[in-house]
Structure 1
Amino acid sequence: MVTPRRFLSDKLCPVRAKRERRKEARPGELIAAALDLFVEKGFAATRAEEVAARAGVSKGTLFLYFKNKEELFKAVVTENLSGRFTEWNKEFEVFEGSTSDMLRYCMRVWWERVGSTKASGLTKLLMSEGSNFPTLAEFYRQEVVRPGHALVRRILHRGIDSGEFAPVDVDHAIYAVIAPMMFLMLWQHSTPMCIDGQAVLDPETFIAVQTEIVLRGLSARPSA
């Protein structure tokens, strides 16, 4: 049996092998560190040297992988948000349930994969700082907002075409679906001023209730 050359090299020089594996992991480590700091401090207040320090590398090392802070932010958005839409669209291509079940699935999985994670703070960041960084705001619109709207539009058209949903203005109905998600993201990353201090808001229950409210409004009914 021939031992792979890379394996022999790793055995003969474990320090070099470890260094190479560390080098391969650095972009992911820098993206993770940047996500933490962008959500904690905002884009403008986050410095490149802070990201590098949190990732355990030098500032110079960060710029070997990302030419500036803007490119690092785009990588954070791509890794944590925009990359999800390809995954969801593939799932919907083979989805065999009703459109109501598809919408329930979409909103529940959104919470599991995005809403409940730190990445949900990126939306609040863009809402508060986007006007100061128009290039990043447009990138976010292209990579997150428009694909997100297209995904919801696809679900709504599926329901209308099958007769499950009443004909509606889809371009406006999209926001009825998105609004509960936006509320949860802002609630998670802001002082919860709009929540009764005595109340307990369970995000999963909130999403489930809001989904049923939307579905009742969309439901096709016999004409009066």
Structure 2
Amino acid sequence: MPHSASDPSSPTADASEPQRRSRRKNARPGELLAAALDLFVEKGYAATRVEEVASRAGVSKGTLFLYFASKEELFKAVVRENIAGRFAEWQLELDVFEGDSEALLRHCYAVWWERIGSTKAAGITKLMCSEARNFPALAHFYQREVMLPGNALVRRILERGIARGEIRPLDLDTGVYLVLAPMMFLMFWQNSMAWCVPTHADHAPGSGCAVMPFSPEAYLEAQVDNLVRGLALRA
């Protein structure tokens, strides 16, 4: 009698089972990183326990430690996966961009919002700002792998504009924060007050709740307009 594909004694089933286990094993690091990102952003670094991460990922704590030696190493991997690992591609995009400085700024803000700002990864920055003093080793790691490369990338954008005669000469060490400030604001907004936007019921007369309509995309457009005028060469 021929074996069916679902028959455990079937040679096909025997051959496919190791493949399924292999695929499941290969998927685990990504599942653990996704679960860790969720919990770190929801609860903060200190309050997140590795047992919770493992449970949310559907594995045991022992399995988690097969891939990440400690909670600190898990957090570093989350940062690299979601933010630090993107700088190489962003540098390449800057290398080949052909538009003027205004177009480049609009492109950079749009790409940042799509890939970081509107995602859970934006919560990592808020987490670091709130817990850096309690975890200086993590703060130094974040500064080295996120802040310094980020500043360097923005500096390249400004240097490019100055070289092309589209941006006035300015102190680049502080100028980079003119570009970064709107991003910082949105990351804090997305992970704080954006969760408290009033509901329709809150708008009832006498509720005392202010209506705060807010479009991150419109805000970034306004910031680009402001930057272009402020950084432009002056007659």
Question: Once structures 1 and 2 are overlaid, which stretch shifts more, 12-21 or 43-52?
Answer: 12-21
Where do 1:67-86 residues align within 5 Å?
67-86=69-88
Contact 2:102–2:224 at 8 Å: present in 1 too? Answer: no
Separation in 2, partners of 1:10, 1:21: 17
Whether the 8 Å CA contact 2:37–2:121 is kept in 1: the answer is: yes
The code of the aligned residue for 1:209 comes to A
Which has the higher mean CA deviation after the structures are superposed, 110-119 or 11-20? Answer: 11-20
Secondary structure of 2:97's counterpart equals: coil
| TM-score normalised by the chain length of structure 1 | 0.91
Q: What are structure 1's unaligned runs of at least 5 residues? A: 1-8
Structure 2-normalised TM-score?
0.87
Any idea what SS the aligned residue of 2:94 has? helix
Contact 2:162–2:168, Cα closer than 8 Å, also in 1: yes
Looking at structure 2, the residues matched to 56 and 10 of structure 1 have their Cα atoms a distance apart, in angstroms, of 27
Are residues 1:215 and 2:228 paired? yes
Aligned length: 214
Any gaps of 5 or more consecutive residues in structure 2? 1-10, 199-208
Contact 1:130 1:136 in 2 (8 A): yes
User: Relative to 1, partners in 2 of residues 1:187 and 1:12: Cα closer, same or farther, differing over 3 Å?
Assistant: same
- C-alpha distance after superposition, 1:125-178 (max 9, x if no partner): 000001111111111001110011001000001111111111111111111111
- Residue 39 of structure 1: how far off its partner (Å): 0.1
- Structure 1 ranges of 4+ moved more than 3 A: 9-12
Q: Which residue of 1 aligns with 2:210?
A: 197
Which residue in 2 is equivalent to 1:16? 18
Instruction: Decide whether aligned partners of structure 1 residues 160 and 10 sit closer, same or farther in structure 2, where only a CA change above 3 A counts.
Output: farther
- Partners of 1:24 and 1:114 in 2: CA distance: 25
Q: Work out which structure has the larger RCO, using CA pairs closer than 8 Å and 6 or more positions apart in sequence.
A: 1
The RMSD of aligned alpha carbons is 1.8
1:26 corresponding residue in structure 2: 28
Secondary structure at the aligned position of 1:163 is classed as coil
> Percent of aligned positions with the same letter in both sequences?
60
User: 1:197 Cα deviation (Å)?
Assistant: 3.0
Q: CA deviation at 1:104?
A: 1.2
1:10, distance to aligned residue in structure 2 (A): 7.3
- Larger radius of gyration between Structure 1 and Structure 2: 2
The structure that is helix-richer by fraction is 1
Deviation at 1:201, TM superposition (A): 0.6
Q: State whether residues 10 and 17 of structure 1, in contact with CA within 8 Å, keep that contact through their aligned partners in structure 2.
A: no
Quote how far apart the aligned CAs of 1:31 are.
Answer: 0.4
Cα distance in structure 1, aligned partners of 2:130 and 2:12:
48
1-side partners of 2:13 and 2:55: how far apart?
30
The answer on whether the counterparts of 1:108 and 1:208 sit within 8 Å (CA) in structure 2 is: no
What is the match of residue 155 of structure 2?
153
Question: Does 1:99 pair with 2:112?
Answer: no
1:212 to partner: Cα distance: 1.1
Q: Work out the CA distance in 2 between the residues paired with 1:165 and 1:92.
A: 17
Asked if the contact 2:41–2:127 (Cα under 8 Å) also holds between the matched residues in 1, the reply is yes
Residue of 38, 41, 44 corresponding to 1:42:
44
Indicate if the aligned counterparts of 2:154 and 2:176 stay in contact, CA closer than 8 A: yes
